[in-house]
Amino acid sequence: MQNILTIDLEEWFHANYHDDVFDPHKTYEVRIIQNTKRLLALFAEHQAKATFFVLGSVAEQHPRLIREIAEAGHELATHGYAHQLIYQQTAAVFKEDVSQAKKRVEDIVGKSVIGYRAPSWSITPKSIWAWDILEELGFVYDASVFPIKTYLYGLPTSPRFSYHPQYNGRTLNLLEVPSSTVRILNKKIPFAGGFYFRALPYPLITRGIKTVNREGHPAIVYLHPREIDPGQPRLTLSPKENLIHYYGISGCEKKLIRVLKKFKFTSVEGYYGL
């Protein structure tokens, strides 16, 4: 059974725990090229294909890197332009941010971008209007929903597996591909990416993927290039955010390699034949 591998293509400082984690006008050390090339090498070695949700500002700065990802046969999708939380934007600002970002990637690869993932899973009960705008902008799927509730994100009423969302009494054509969870004691527990992937031991991650596969669905694994980079500079964060952002980074690449060896991965587009 195929699973789905996704990378949010952003820099080590693109975080939204609070408003001023990073200054969009400041110049920071570039780490994304070396980290992404390392991911591409690992994916090639293990015959894995992925979807890269590219931040528009990253595409603008590193068009060669985006071309390289496309030439390696991966899917290019968008992660918005400036990594701002949707639920803090107006619909008009969101629409402008996403159309800019979509166009940046399309201009580089010469192909339509059909997928979107929100910065920090920010399609929440306050911002489901975003689905309607994504459909209007020509997106075929969205992968922005975490079907749980955390202090930063989550749409707890969301189904666990892909579906066409309802908006204003209408079923959208847009396909929602929510992040993977397993059901334990009637709770949805994340395991397949980011902090959860870094924090959980390898046997629990494989058990999670196998459980989702037994239910007839692909697991959606997600990572960021910075998560395999123990040498990155450190952001000033609260102790809780520091833990979420950096826990387990030193062992993450090794764990990823084990997962790539054990399971088959493709892109969202490849899995659903979009």
Regarding 225 and contact with Zn ion (CB under 5 A), the answer is no
Query: Cβ atoms within 10 A of the Cβ of 247, count?
Result: 13
Q: How far is the CB of 144 from Zn ion (least distance, A)?
A: 10
Half-sphere exposure at residue 259, Cβ-oriented, CA atoms within 13 angstroms: 33
Regarding 8 and contact with Zn ion (CB under 5 A), the answer is yes
Q: How many amino acids of this chain bind Zn ion (CB under 5 A)?
A: 3
Regarding 154 and contact with Zn ion (CB under 5 A), the answer is no
The closest alpha carbon to 136, from 121, 159, 158, 116, belongs to 116
> Which stretch in 63-71, 111-119, 124-132, 264-272 sits in contact with Zn ion by CB under 5 A?
111-119
Q: How far is the CB of 86 from Zn ion (least distance, A)?
A: 12
Residue 169 contacts by C-beta under 8 Å, 6 or more apart in sequence? Answer: none
- What tokens appear for 247 in the block? 């826990």
- What tokens appear for 82 in the block? 């400036």
Q: How far is the CB of 57 from Zn ion (least distance, A)?
A: 11
By rule CB under 5 A, what string of x and - marks binding of each residue 179-218 to Zn ion? ----------------------------------------
Closer to Zn ion by CB, 193 or 218: give it: 193
d(CA 221, CA 99): 26
- What tokens appear for 137 in the block? 């902008």
Closer to Zn ion by CB, 182 or 194: give it: 194
The closest alpha carbon to 142, from 186, 150, 155, 151, belongs to 155
Q: How far is the CB of 8 from Zn ion (least distance, A)?
A: 4
Q: How far is the CB of 21 from Zn ion (least distance, A)?
A: 11
d(CA 270, CA 263): 16
Phi, psi of 220 (to 5 degrees): -105, 100
Query: CA 120, 197, 102: angle at the middle one, nearest 5?
Result: 35
Closer to Zn ion by CB, 11 or 253: give it: 11
Q: How far is the CB of 247 from Zn ion (least distance, A)?
A: 17
By rule CB under 5 A, what string of x and - marks binding of each residue 115-144 to Zn ion? ----x-------------------------
Phi, psi of 74 (to 5 degrees): -90, 160
The residues that touch Zn ion, with contacts defined as CB under 5 A, are 8, 10, 119
